[in-house]
Chain A
Amino acid sequence: MAEIVCALGAPHTPLLWRTMVDPVPGDLAEVAAAFDRSRRRLAAAEPDAIVFVASDHFRQLVTSNMPAFMVGKAPSMRGTHPNEVREFGLPVREVPGDPDLARDLLGRHQLPDGFDFAFSDEPWLDHAFMVPLLYLRPQLDVPLVPIFTNCNAPPLPGAARFAALGEHIRTTIQRSSLERRVAVLATGHLAFELGGPRQLSGGSPGPDFDEEALGWIRAGDVAGAVAGCTYERLLDAGNLTFQFLNFIALMAAAGAGPPELAEAVHCRFGPEPFMTWGST
């Protein structure tokens, strides 16, 4: 039987790749330490599959055909894209997949009642997946089920849908007949702005939101997070704060209990969120 052995949330800031190098600059030392703690936490859980909730950043998916949620069910997949190699210096890697677990999440022959996934046999991972994986599991040896979310192109799925996604991940894994120790990962941002007048300002564009968001996570308060994450509130906290919604899915997948750890590590790129839960 499958089980969730841990749930981890982490940032995916691609600018870390060229800056968080040896010797690690002072303001990034805590970020490096936080990734290392999460890497060890993940290793201690000994997962043999990872379900990973993250946003595609208009790399594979654009509004010619934009799903709300897309499950990747390939036995192997590639990350990242040529423009991310050019801009961020990220390496291109192959990552193993777990099609059987992906099909459990999808319902194999019929999509789950009340849930409308897209699916792909050719998922292509961008930095939202690859940056955390390269820090948290650099061996890239644990088969992955990527769940791409639309946190970029309005109309977005609402916060309640992300909570439902997390619930679906949790119950599917609990009911799966597969022998799997599953880690659930998610990445996103707290308040975040890019392509607007508050971008790359060295701080958060929405510190009040950050504080409240960390409160929801520390309390395992999915309902509070859902109520608080209206489109307008997220936009007010930064023009791309919507990726916080991935953490609502993570909280719900983890069983809505308080985490072992939830923190925002501040650095030149703003507040970087880290959170971990044990088995559920």
Chain B
Amino acid sequence: MSRYMIDKLMWEIDRSDEALDSFVEDPAAFVAAWEGAASAPEPPYPLGGSLTGEERDAFEAWDYERLYALGAHPYLLWHFVRAIHGPGGTPVGELSEAFKAAVAPHGYPEFAT
């Protein structure tokens, strides 16, 4: 379980336009580079950290249903989903309906880190 790392990665992508653009362009490369930095033996990640294979796959596939089921924080997840679909992408109402339909079968997973 690395729920903290899921939340941290979503947070870092959403808060930086540069990170967002990089992730959208090549999710696998972005995640690999981020995990490399996260596991470096110096700050800001002195304790290291990495995603599980399932979590990595979910990020690379933009699989928000899987991230939700894994306990991603709902606030961070929704804003992450909105960010990666972009202001010119799926209209928010349509995106929200698709999101709700995808996550509903999973109920309310624990989201404390």
**Hey, which bits of chain A sit against chain B, CB under 8 A?**
57-59, 62-64, 81-83, 86-87, 152-155, 193-200, 235, 239-240
Partner of B11 from the list A62, A86, A235 (CB cut-off 8 Å) is A62
Contact: B4 with A59, CB < 8 Å? no
Complex CA–CA separation, A155 to B110 (angstroms): 12
Interface string of B1-34 (1 = CB under 8 A from A): 0001001100100111100000000000000000
Q: Which residues of A contact B48 (CB under 8 A)?
A: none
**Chain A contacts of B96 at CB under 8 A?**
199-200
Number of interface residues of B (CB under 8 A): 31
CB pair B82 A87 closer than 8 Å: yes
Name which residue of chain B comes closest to A15, CB basis: B92
Q: Pick 7 A–B contacts, CB within 8 A, sort by A.
A: A58-B76, A63-B113, A83-B83, A86-B17, A195-B78, A196-B108, A199-B100
Complexed CA–CA distance, A58 and B79 (Å): 11
Q: Which of B75, B79, B92, B100 contacts A83 (CB 8 A)?
A: B79
Q: Which residues of A contact B78 (CB under 8 A)?
A: 194-195, 199
Are A239 and B74 closer than 8 Å at their CB atoms?
A: yes
Taking CB as reference atom, which chain B residue is nearest A196? B74
Which of B8, B44, B113 counts the most chain A CB atoms within 10 A?
A: B113
B75 CB contact (under 8 Å) in A81, A87, A195: A195
B61 close to A (CB within 8 Å): no
A86, A155, A200, A240: the one contacting B74 at CB < 8 Å is: A240
Nearest A residue to B106, CB-CB: A197
Q: Shortest Cβ distance from A193 into chain B, in angstroms?
A: 8
Q: Are the CB atoms of A235 and B108 closer together than 8 Å?
A: yes
CB < 8 Å neighbour of B73 from A153, A197, A200:
A153
Also in contact, A154 and B4, with CB within 8 A (given A58-B73, A83-B79, A200-B96): no
- Give the chain B neighbours of A195 by CB distance below 8 A: 68, 73-78, 103
- Report if B41 contacts A (CB, 8 A): no
With A194-B75, A195-B78: A82-B15 Cβ-Cβ less than 8 Å: yes
Q: Which residues of B contact A199 (CB under 8 A)?
A: 78, 96, 99-100
Would you call A197 and B87 a contact (CB within 8 A)? Answer: no
Given A83-B83, A199-B100, A62–B75 Cβ distance below 8 Å?
no
CB within 8 Å for A153 and B113 given contacts A62-B8, A83-B79, A86-B87: yes
B38, chain A: closest CB distance, angstroms: 12
